Amino acid sequence: MSIQIDLTPEANDIVSTLHRPVCDLLGCTWPVALAGMGGVARSELVGAVTGAGGFGFLGMVREPVALIREEVQRVRARTDRKFGVNLIPAATHPELLDAQIATCIELGVPVVGLFWDVVPEVVRRLRDAGIIVVCQVGSLRDALAAEDAGAQVLIAQGREAGGHVWGDRPLAMLLPEIVAAARIPVLAAGGLADGADVATALSFGAQGVVLGTALIPTHESFAHAYHKQRIVDAAEHATLLTDAFHINWPRGARVRVLANSVTDGQRGDPFGTVKTVIGDEEGRPIYLFSTDSPLRSMTGDFEAMALYAGTGAGRIDTIVGAAERLHRIVADAAALLDSGAAPTHPASGVHDAPLAGAKREALLAALNELLEAERAGARVTSQTATEITAPELRQLVVSIRQDEARWCGVLTKAILSLDATPTRRTGAFYEKAMAIADLSQRMAFLNRGQGWVVRRLQALLPAIHDERIRNDLLAMLDSHEKNIRRVEIQLASTGERA
């Protein structure tokens, strides 16, 4: 069965905004790729993402060739678009790796993704077979080595990424460096979870992004329900880097996971000599401290397994269909870029006059406070939109959500222009709002939050002398005042008061 993308006029507008040359190379509508997460990225998820306009990698690290054949056939039954298979030479026995590559060549897999060490002979073998090669790297040195070896696309992975992390630099530092040096398209990966992240990455010069954590809590992902729910429930700053999960990988390979009894040191020495079985996957034992994450096909002590998640986990609060999540992300990214509010690289920010000392710190505190509030508002409206069935009200809430995402970008840009790091926190407003079950009452509460933002902006604007920041905040103020009136009109029709 072939799945085609039926582009609405709105979707065509998004395509015109987001399209980059890498889309033509990979055969996708949106420059958004599904990470080749081992075990999690199976044919159902790859088919859903690819069929919805993205690009999907099957996560086939250490998998037998029989499974690769089955999964490739299942993807092709879902879509006639290009897709990829992700392999990791450093974590695979040489004989199995040789058989995996031979199978990909035999099946005519369009794209193969590679990670960890750059192995030129593997790249050449795949290129000679006419396969597009994508290499994920964690440093400029590896990026240049991969390009020299023949890679056609690079993925710059920041230390914020979930799962195995090769480099040690934040994405905001690594990405511009690789983009400036590479002659081939660069995709960004690491902690990306929403449209503002995509807009930021594209503004930094990436041609697209790779999403992992954001697509684990989807109906089609092969992750176990326990893993999905742990991501949904994750708070800000809930992840950490550790080398405790190491079985099947080279010693010292770090992974980013959600904290659990292993990372808390409650399960003993990860590098001891005793192997303890904590689960089973169709007859295959799952060991404590292995790199296996909980999958649908497993049973066992999921809490003690590797719960992979990037730093964006705290901004993912629902389990939805992969297509719905993807479309929401690309719509928000396009809205930010169209508005001109997408964040830019700090080095490009120029202010009228440098702020010093207390003035600068006070301004940054105020901007970050507003950013927390806008992030909370974006999450509230995003979740609320999924609960509304009335078309007019849903359209209103979706419109406000897009505005909230846009103002997150405006505030992020302002903070970056001051050579500071934007907060990743989400204000407490989100929890308070989502505790209100009645949707009309929640909308009234949302309006009070919008009113708080208006008052904060009114108090802040007289102290802003940077013309661009001031103009952006004036537009933000105007938008909030208009949205307050729109909600008031809607609430009046239901008898509620803001």
State pLDDT tens for residues 201-242.
998 889 999 999 999 999 999 999 999 999 999 987 899 999
Q: Residue 266 has what pLDDT? A: 95
- Rounded alpha-carbon distances, angstroms, from residue 299 to 176, 227, 280: 43, 12, 5
Q: Residue 412 has what pLDDT? A: 82
Q: Residue 2 has what pLDDT? A: 37
* Distance from C-alpha of 384 to C-alpha of 498, rounded to nearest angstrom: 17
Spatial CA neighbour of 427 closest among 332, 315, 329: 315
- 430 phi and psi, to 5 degrees? -60, -50
Residues of the chain with CATH 1.20.1260.10: 343-492
Question: Token pair 């404590």 is at which residue?
Answer: 288
**Within 10 A of 172 (CB to CB), how many other CB atoms are there?**
21
- Rounded alpha-carbon distances, angstroms, from residue 122 to 115, 140, 226: 11, 20, 36
CB hemisphere CA count around 370 (13 angstroms): 32
Query: Which pLDDT tens digit goes with each residue over 437-481?
Result: 999 899 999 999 999 999 889 888 887 878 888 888 988 998 999
| Per-position DSSP letters for 427-488, written without gaps between them | -THHHHHHT--SHHHHHHHHHHHHHHHHHHHHHHGGG---HHHHHHHHHHHHHHHHHHHHHH
Q: Residue 462 has what pLDDT? A: 80
Angle at 277 between CA 271 and CA 282, to 5 degrees: 130
CATH of domain 343-492: 1.20.1260.10
Average pLDDT of the segment spanning 313-319: 92
Q: pLDDT at residue 353 above 60?
A: no
CA 108 to chain centre: 29
Higher pLDDT: 383 or 154? It is 154
Q: pLDDT at residue 336 above 90?
A: no
Tokens of 123: 């790249």
Q: What stretch of H or E contains 242?
A: strand 239-242
The matching CATH number, chosen from 3.30.70.20, 3.40.50.720, 3.40.50.300, 3.20.20.70, for 9-215 is 3.20.20.70
Tokens of 146: 């991969």
Task: Write the CB contacts of 488 (distance below 8 Å, at least 6 apart in sequence).
Answer: 447, 498
Question: Please, which pLDDT band fits residue 355 given cuts at 50, 70 and 90?
Answer: very low
Residues of the chain with CATH 3.20.20.70: 9-215
Do the beta carbons of residue 309 and residue 231 sit within 8 Å?
yes
- Please state whether beta strands 132-137 and 153-157 pair in parallel, antiparallel, or not at all (unpaired): parallel
Q: What stretch of H or E contains 210?
A: strand 208-211
- Provide the mean pLDDT of the chain: 89
Question: Please, which pLDDT band fits residue 4 given cuts at 50, 70 and 90?
Answer: very low
Question: Please, which pLDDT band fits residue 126 given cuts at 50, 70 and 90?
Answer: very high
Alpha-carbon dihedral sign for residues 15, 18, 24, 27:
negative
- Report the percentage of the chain scoring pLDDT > 90: 61
* Distance from C-alpha of 493 to C-alpha of 485, rounded to nearest angstrom: 13
- 395 phi and psi, to 5 degrees? -60, -40
* Distance from C-alpha of 397 to C-alpha of 401, rounded to nearest angstrom: 6
Going across the sheet that includes 277-281, the strands are 284-287, 277-281, 298-300
Do the beta carbons of residue 217 and residue 318 sit within 8 Å?
yes
Question: Please, which pLDDT band fits residue 356 given cuts at 50, 70 and 90?
Answer: very low
In terms of Cβ atoms closer than 10 Å to its own Cβ (0-12, 13-18, 19+), residue 93 is exposed
Do the beta carbons of residue 60 and residue 100 sit within 8 Å?
yes
Do the beta carbons of residue 422 and residue 428 sit within 8 Å?
no
Task: Write the CB contacts of 122 (distance below 8 Å, at least 6 apart in sequence).
Answer: 89, 97, 101, 114
Higher pLDDT: 407 or 189? It is 189
